[in-house]
């Protein structure tokens, strides 16, 4: 039976996958006492003795490591072997969204979710084996250096970024305020969405781009969750153009405050909620954001192999009288698509822009006893109409892409203003 909930967090422990994976890890490094102890220390209480004790079930792996023990030309760091074994295991799932975070990476992940960090001011995502820029924050080192959505990070401090995980790239770019980081960037050509991913998940760089090496000065980045400007539509109508950058902790409260101010104090005639280049974030925040505009009914439904179907309803207190226009593009993903799907299916507003990214999967963060975490895809989600948008995206009601070559004109926003004025 479906389970209904408002902000109840989806929490699923992937026991089958995790146990199988940890058993393999125990096999792989079981013949090295130092490595075995390192793995045992990283596992939840009781797991290590149970799982690592079965390493003799896989004699071939033991044989390889025994030979390494007696013939490898240099000493192997057990901790490095442990982390690489886990990452290698998870790569076998062929899921770019499931990965292991070591303690340092997990700390950086929590820092970014909190809304501030020290780095260069950009959001990135994986496209095949390419780490691709989704957005840059206004005034950040990345933005000032000319980086833009669709650009690809080729190297970080001389290391090939295509051989690193997304979080490994992020952790290498982040660093102490005032220090520099050298990155090699592939600027995708104008009009390109970045790497092209085929149906098998393989990606290739778009032709016609340029390569550039940048020395970026790290600084403390305060993620601008909400930015509002009041713009005039033809006919004298006022529109609140509200840019929403990320679904981080308590970001929905900030958005609600901005919307209420625009409606009650500024007396705007419409809201243009800008989710372009918003790569998503927390599921709970997406429910609350959608509930700002949708009075009742289903927002999203999730279901996984190890979790029952869960239906998330609107929480109440919606502002339903003001017309809503949702601005989206190919970099609107995950939580942005949960909101977009709910708005479109309930006909609460009009989607304007380009088809969204197409990430219809939910990840759960499971902290581990070593201070790291397993980020695992635990469910798929469906929009209120039951649509699975994974790898498909959500098509806008009005197609109006922004032309990146016209830097002083936002064609998507201009189309919204025309719609508000009734000219389309």
Nearest Cα residue to 274 out of 103, 402, 102, 109: 402
Q: Do both 177 and 198 map to the same domain?
A: yes
Write down the pLDDT at residue 290. 98
The answer, yes or no, to whether residue 30 has pLDDT greater than 60, is no
As a whole number, mean pLDDT of residues 374-378 equals 94
Reported as a single tens digit per residue, the pLDDT across 301-325 is 999 999 899 999 999 999 999 999 9
Q: Do both 256 and 315 map to the same domain?
A: yes
Backbone angles phi, psi at 63, to 5 degrees: -65, -45
Q: Do both 323 and 253 map to the same domain?
A: yes
Q: Do both 42 and 159 map to the same domain?
A: no
Residue 109 is assigned to a structural domain of this protein: no
Residue 106 is assigned to a structural domain of this protein: no
d(CA 288, CA 251): 9
Residue 108 is assigned to a structural domain of this protein: no
Residue 369 is assigned to a structural domain of this protein: no
**Helices 283-291 and 251-260, axial angle in degrees (round to 10):** 10
The answer, yes or no, to whether residue 268 has pLDDT greater than 80, is yes
d(CA 297, CA 346): 9
CATH code of the domain containing 215: 2.30.42.10
Residue 12 is assigned to a structural domain of this protein: yes
* pLDDT tier for residue 28 given thresholds of 50, 70 and 90: very low
Write down the pLDDT at residue 116. 63
Active centre residues (catalytic): 334, 345, 359
Asked which of 157-166, 193-202, 285-294, 385-394 is least confident by mean pLDDT, the reply is 193-202
Residue 367 is assigned to a structural domain of this protein: no
CATH code of the domain containing 257: 3.90.226.10
* pLDDT tier for residue 113 given thresholds of 50, 70 and 90: low
Nearest Cα residue to 401 out of 380, 416, 386, 381: 416
| pTM of the full structure | 0.75
Q: How many CB atoms lie within 10 A of CB 147?
A: 24
As a whole number, mean pLDDT of residues 135-139 equals 87
The answer, yes or no, to whether residue 380 has pLDDT greater than 90, is yes
Write down the pLDDT at residue 296. 96
Beta bridge partners of 186: 152, 211
Q: Do both 338 and 356 map to the same domain?
A: yes
- Out of 31, 61, 94, a domain closes at 94
* pLDDT tier for residue 23 given thresholds of 50, 70 and 90: very low
As a whole number, mean pLDDT of residues 92-114 equals 82
Query: Based on the structure, what is the number of domains in the chain?
Result: 3
Nearest Cα residue to 354 out of 331, 325, 393, 328: 328
* pLDDT tier for residue 46 given thresholds of 50, 70 and 90: very low
Q: Do both 218 and 295 map to the same domain?
A: no
Write down the pLDDT at residue 372. 92
Instruction: Give the tokens for residue 287.
Output: 């429910």
More confident residue, 410 or 109: 410
Distance of CA 371 to the CA centre of its chain: 21
Domain extent for 48: 3-94
Q: Do both 15 and 80 map to the same domain?
A: yes
The answer, yes or no, to whether residue 53 has pLDDT greater than 60, is no
- Out of 156, 187, 222, a domain closes at 222
Q: Do both 88 and 130 map to the same domain?
A: no
Burial class (CB in 10 A: 0-12, 13-18, 19+), 196: middle
Q: Do both 194 and 58 map to the same domain?
A: no
Q: Do both 417 and 336 map to the same domain?
A: yes
Residue 137 is assigned to a structural domain of this protein: yes
The helix/strand/coil state of 349 is coil
User: For all residues of the chain together, what is the average pLDDT?
Assistant: 84
Residue 290 is assigned to a structural domain of this protein: yes
* pLDDT tier for residue 143 given thresholds of 50, 70 and 90: very high
Provide the percentage of residues in the chain whose pLDDT is more than 90.
56
Q: Do both 230 and 209 map to the same domain?
A: no
- Out of 222, 238, 255, a domain closes at 222
CA dihedral 186, 274, 281, 167 (to 10 degrees): 10
Instruction: Give the tokens for residue 26.
Output: 């125990």
Q: Do both 192 and 69 map to the same domain?
A: no
């Amino acid at each position: 039976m479906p389970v209904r909930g408002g902000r109840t967090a989806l929490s699923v422990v992937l026991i089958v996958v995790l146990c199988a994976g940890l058993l393999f890890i125990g096999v792989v490094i079981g013949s090295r006492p130092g490595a075995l102890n390192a793995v045992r220390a990283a596992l939840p209480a009781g797991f290590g003795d149970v799982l690592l004790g079965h390493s003799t079930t896989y004699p071939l792996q033991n044989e390889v490591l025994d030979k390494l023990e007696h013939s490898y030309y240099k000493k192997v760091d057990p901790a490095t072997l442990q982390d690489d074994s886990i990452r290698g295991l998870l790569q076998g799932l062929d899921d770019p969204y499931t990965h292991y975070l070591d303690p340092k990476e997990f700390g950086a992940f929590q820092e970014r979710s909190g809304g501030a960090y020290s780095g260069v001011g950009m959001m990135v995502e994986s496209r095949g084996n390419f780490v691709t820029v989704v957005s840059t924050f206004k005034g950040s080192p990345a933005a000032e250096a000319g980086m833009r959505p669709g650009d690809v990070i080729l190297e970080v401090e001389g290391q090939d970024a295509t051989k690193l995980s997304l979080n490994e790239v992020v952790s290498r770019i982040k660093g102490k305020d005032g220090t520099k980081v050298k990155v090699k960037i592939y600027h995708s050509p104008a009009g390109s969405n970045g790497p092209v991913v085929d149906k098998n998940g393989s990606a290739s760089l778009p032709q016609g781009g340029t390569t550039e090496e940048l020395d970026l000065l790290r600084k403390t980045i305060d993620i601008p969750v909400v930015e509002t400007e009041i713009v005039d539509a033809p006919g004298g109508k006022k529109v609140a153009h509200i840019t929403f950058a990320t679904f981080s902790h308590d970001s929905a409260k900030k958005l609600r405050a901005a919307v209420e101010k625009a409606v009650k104090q500024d007396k705007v005639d419409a809201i243009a909620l800008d989710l372009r280049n918003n790569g998503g974030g927390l599921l709970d925040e997406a429910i609350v954001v959608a509930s700002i505009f949708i009075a009742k009914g289903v927002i999203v439904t999730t279901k996984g192999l190890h979790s029952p179907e869960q239906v998330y309803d609107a929480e109440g207190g919606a502002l339903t009288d003001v017309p809503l226009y949702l601005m989206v593009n190919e970099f609107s993903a995950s939580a942005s698509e949960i909101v977009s799907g709910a708005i479109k299916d309930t006909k609460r507003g009009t989607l304007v822009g380009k088809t969204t990214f197409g990430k219809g999967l939910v990840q759960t963060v499971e902290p581990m006893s070593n201070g790291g975490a397993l980020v695992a895809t635990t469910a798929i989600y469906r929009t209120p109409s039951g649509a699975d948008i994974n790898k498909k995206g959500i098509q806008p009601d009005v197609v109006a892409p922004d032309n990146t070559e016209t830097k002083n004109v936002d064609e998507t926003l201009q189309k919204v203003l025309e719609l508000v004025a009734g000219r389309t």
